[in-house]
Structure 1
């Protein structure tokens, strides 16, 4: 049994809480759009190396034996949701149990590799008329950012501890090679790779004894702790109350309370001067409207001669431009208000508002795919404990879909992750 199969609990609309999951509990949409979705979907999968099994044994797709098999349990609901919501509806139909797949990551990887060709060009030109817009409540103002971060990172420290490693690091690890074997326990391998990633960032930022380091986006404190152990004076800020609580406790347990300060503070409200600044997978949560504000603030806070080390998920510039006005499944259910930048978008923002330039770029997207696979395996193995924390079957399917969706993006090359070093020109 695969980890995906192990984690999949078949959700039925009769068991879904409509108050918690209103757009999952019922399939709503016009019959016309549902029929268009059916025609487009059938045409798309006929060209792809997947197989789609419908009730009654009828199969679609060009996939050979061994290809990912998507089993559609409720075609009427599936096509209704797909027609009404596009990719959001596709994800919601999985949450509702309208379809399943034993190799969910493999299926989503095929779709990610062919994302530009799934919809015929004439319909793509009408895309702006059909896609949903971002809710105003997701805007990354100070209040909006706190709400958005709370919806994800304040779920439960205990929940994240179930699938992260002992470092509690929730970003891509850096393995010795992307093909590192599993000769040692996956958690130990992942912890080593997370520390390797952090140490590389600290090296890029020039963190050394006596250095004044600012970290924007504390996470659960591992980078701040390792910087403190180098002899740096660290100020780290977060807007997640739950993360600050655990990070401060971990700092104290490491004996660094006098050297590392953990603050509940928006990056826009930080003052001072710092020899080094680090920020790990924070840019994605800033929101396009505030990229210039974010980078201008980094420029203002960096002392002369200092360096900035960022780690960020990226995607090709044309995909960033295509996504900027589109409300996606990830934004609706996982990371409200965010947008993944391209390196070009970052360079443009730096050029508009700062004297900073990218002086080094290190890409390691295949390592993120491996990181996500380990997280997924651990999440699936501990789903009973997730349920014990009060999360329901739809939540389990949502997180499985998210982890597989993200892994597929990196497997397909649709997504990348980069460590960027910024210095003043």
Structure 2
């Protein structure tokens, strides 16, 4: 493992302070897992947890390194210890789901109040100020179009699909159902926003162009903005190949800089990258450019309002390694921000968290199956463990109910009365 590439992973923290913190963290961790429905197996043969033989198993390979990492860096250390190979799990999402379901009680309440004193804060350079935003986005979305193509379906959609199945059937939905389910998700958003022939559509967050393609096929004129040069290039290529270059403009532009008037605004899982402080600006921008009688349809990953408030200043493993500057809203926060800062009002919403869990399971299976191809692109074993942890960490959030994803429709009817 190259310490210059992986400075937080190659070596566990050292020194007296780290060792003391590790001992304390180890005691807290063991006290927590003793009452959780999983099994934590240690090299000496001991097993902690209340889970039976069918429970997910967390296998400790280097418990001392694990404890030092979580003592020094909390949940960031949990992810880094997996990246380093300090522990394994045959059902990684299952292990993480147990932790996600118990997130409010893992740490004793008195210690939770002290979290701001010892947990890291967001680096200034990762805040989503306008001059930082492109670098934050590039760190994730400009990794490689080929990387994403190795685990996404042919639509290159990187958001929750909408399967035509009841929730009970989602655990076994097959890979070959994903592309159609992604298109169903997009079509529902376009329907709710009233996108059809002649519609002037603003898309905030291009992705790799599938929504713009489907809107153009309806006869809409699309202005789509992105901060990822890699995504823009492939989206433009796909749009031109489909014959819609005259209908679709893909601009490398911050959403705050958009001008003009649009009949509809659609944004799929982009608000998560906006940042807590900038939600008013995000919705004010939409309000500013939306034509009279226009509609807005967004898809947003959400968390419970109480957890959102408790973690809004936290710096997490996901921030450090996956989405710098990101933060998930609650439904209540979206309703509050739009009521206080815009003329927009939430009219309708639909939760599809179980559909996201199924989507992530399919991505995880595809990513794992194509490990050799990903390695051939130059992504080493540590990166692949990091990405697997990210996919399973996300799936665990939806499976536990800690996370949800909502399709939300907004308009100005109240303001027009």
Query: TM-score under structure 2 normalisation?
Result: 0.96
Check whether the contact 2:170–2:355 (CA below 8 A) recurs between aligned residues: no
Q: Name the SS for the 2:150 alignment partner.
A: helix
**Structure 2 unaligned spans of 5+:** none
| 1:168 equivalenced with 2:156 (yes/no) | yes
User: How many angstroms does 1:143 deviate by?
Assistant: 2.3
- Partner residue of 2:8? 23
CA–CA distance in 2 between the matches of 1:191 and 1:223? 13
Select which of 24, 36, 44 maps to 1:48.
Answer: 36
User: How many angstroms does 1:342 deviate by?
Assistant: 0.3
Output aligned runs, 1:8-407, within 5 Å.
Answer: 16-28=1-13, 30-177=18-165, 178-180=167-169, 186=175, 188-407=176-395
Count residues in correspondence.
409
CA–CA distance in 1 between the matches of 2:98 and 2:216? 43
User: How many angstroms does 1:181 deviate by?
Assistant: 6.7
Deviations 1:260-288 (A, max 9, x none): 11111110111000000000000000001
CA–CA distance in 2 between the matches of 1:183 and 1:378? 14
Deviations 1:309-338 (A, max 9, x none): 000000100011111011001011000001
**TM-aligned CA distance change 1:184 to 1:77, over 3 Å:** closer
Deviations 1:377-415 (A, max 9, x none): 000000000000000010000000000000000000000
CA–CA distance in 1 between the matches of 2:328 and 2:133? 16
CA–CA distance in 1 between the matches of 2:406 and 2:152? 21
Q: Name the SS for the 1:117 alignment partner.
A: coil
User: How many angstroms does 1:182 deviate by?
Assistant: 9.1
CA–CA distance in 1 between the matches of 2:129 and 2:180? 36
RMSD of Structure 2 on Structure 1 (CA): 1.2
Deviations 1:26-75 (A, max 9, x none): 11152221111011111101000111111121211111111111111111
Q: Name the SS for the 1:86 alignment partner.
A: helix
